[in-house]
């Protein structure tokens, strides 16, 4: 077991529905996933070396603008690329593209990317670069110490391109759903939409937002995004999560899971 933190990104892809108002794209992880299986999440995953290389090679626009909103993160632009890449891989939505290729061409590129016959660099070149200014930075969560896998995750919001449809990759992700944030929270409370705490917190951030424009404006108005690191606490035979602000948070030693012990969904901190 390791406490090494993997930098990661996740993005809340948003659209305006004329009937229900703001909607957020939720993906369901496969029941066979190694971590938080069958839960609903946003597109996301670990930072790749190629994400940083794309920034270094000048294929990413507005990296400095994104970095201005993430002064504690020297790899801000690359984390923005990771969010864009994961949204394309897992949901088939390409954010920040400089040119439109059409649904058929994007679908072909995605299939080749998922098959491993091309890298994300080829996708970025095909659309003549990506602009990470489409992302708004909203949250920073760290998986609890003692977890079998740990992620240092930045959360973003972005508008869904109007000419693209979302779809699950049928691998890590088995379902893609557009939901009003308030409906997602009601479904979660009813037990019909399992979500981990960071997902719940970020859906809550959107619950009283009326439009995509308002969500992006709220993100860009944030002066400080706190780092939130839950703690695992063994309460008898049950491992529970403690969030900053809980009176027990600073009084108990973090629990380390035993070899082979599964991290409970309610205690997970992965995007």
- φ/ψ region of 196 (left if φ > 0, alpha if ψ in -120 to 50, else beta) reads beta
In angstroms, the CA 137 to CA 31 distance is 29
Q: What is the DSSP string of 187-209?
A: HHHTTSS---HHHHHHHHHHTT-
In angstroms, the CA 42 to CA 118 distance is 24
Tokens of 111: 């299939």
Residue 100's closest CA among 167, 14, 161?
161
The three-class DSSP label of residue 210 is coil
Q: What pLDDT is stored for residue 38 in this prediction?
A: 78
In angstroms, the CA 134 to CA 157 distance is 8
Could you tell me whether strands 60-61 and 130-131 are parallel, antiparallel, or unpaired per DSSP bridges?
parallel
Q: What pLDDT is stored for residue 37 in this prediction?
A: 65
Residues near 141 by beta carbon (within 8 Å), at least 6 away in sequence: 153, 155, 198, 201, 228, 229, 230, 269, 271
Tokens of 53: 């290389």
Residues near 176 by beta carbon (within 8 Å), at least 6 away in sequence: 25, 26, 27, 28, 91, 166, 167, 168
Q: What pLDDT is stored for residue 268 in this prediction?
A: 46
Residue 244's closest CA among 258, 234, 254, 257?
254
In angstroms, the CA 260 to CA 243 distance is 24
What secondary structure letter does DSSP report for 118? S
pTM score above 0.85: yes
What are the pLDDT digits (tens) for 52-92? 999 999 999 999 999 999 999 999 999 999 999 999 999 99
The pLDDT tens digits along the chain (271 residues) read: 457 899 999 999 999 999 989 999 999 988 766 566 678 999 999 999 999 999 999 999 999 999 999 999 999 999 999 999 999 999 999 999 999 999 999 999 999 999 999 999 999 999 999 999 999 999 999 988 887 788 999 999 999 999 999 999 878 889 999 999 999 999 999 999 999 889 999 999 999 999 999 999 999 999 999 999 988 888 777 777 888 888 888 777 777 776 666 555 554 444 4
Residue 132's closest CA among 82, 177, 196?
82
């Amino acid at each position: 077991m390791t406490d090494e933190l993997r930098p990661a990104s996740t993005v809340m892809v948003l659209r305006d529905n004329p009937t229900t108002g703001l909607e957020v794209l939720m993906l369901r992880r496969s029941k066979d996933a190694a971590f938080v299986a069958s839960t609903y999440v946003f597109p996301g995953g670990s930072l790749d070396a190629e994400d940083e290389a794309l920034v270094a090679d000048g294929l990413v626009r507005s990296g400095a603008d994104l970095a201005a909103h993430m002064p504690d993160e020297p790899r801000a632009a690359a984390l923005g690329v990771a969010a864009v890449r994961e949204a394309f891989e897992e949901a088939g939505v390409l954010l920040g593209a400089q040119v439109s290729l059409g649904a058929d061409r994007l679908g072909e590129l995605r299939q080749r990317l998922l098959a491993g016959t091309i890298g994300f660099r080829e996708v970025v070149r095909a659309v003549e670069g990506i602009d990470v200014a489409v992302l708004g930075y909203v949250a920073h969560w760290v998986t609890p110490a003692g977890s079998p896998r740990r992620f240092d995750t930045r959360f973003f919001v972005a508008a869904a391109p109007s000419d693209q449809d979302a779809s699950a990759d049928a691998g890590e992700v088995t379902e893609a759903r557009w939901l009003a944030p308030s409906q997602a929270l009601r479904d979660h409370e009813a037990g019909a939409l399992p979500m981990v705490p960071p997902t719940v917190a970020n859906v809550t951030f959107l619950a009283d937002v009326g439009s995509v424009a308002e969500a992006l404006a709220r993100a860009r108005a944030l002066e400080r995004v706190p780092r939130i690191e839950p703690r695992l606490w063994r309460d008898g035979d049950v491992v529970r999560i403690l969030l900053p602000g809980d009176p027990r948070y600073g009084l108990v030693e973090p629990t380390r899971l035993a070899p082979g012990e599964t991290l409970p969904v309610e205690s997970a901190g992965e995007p």
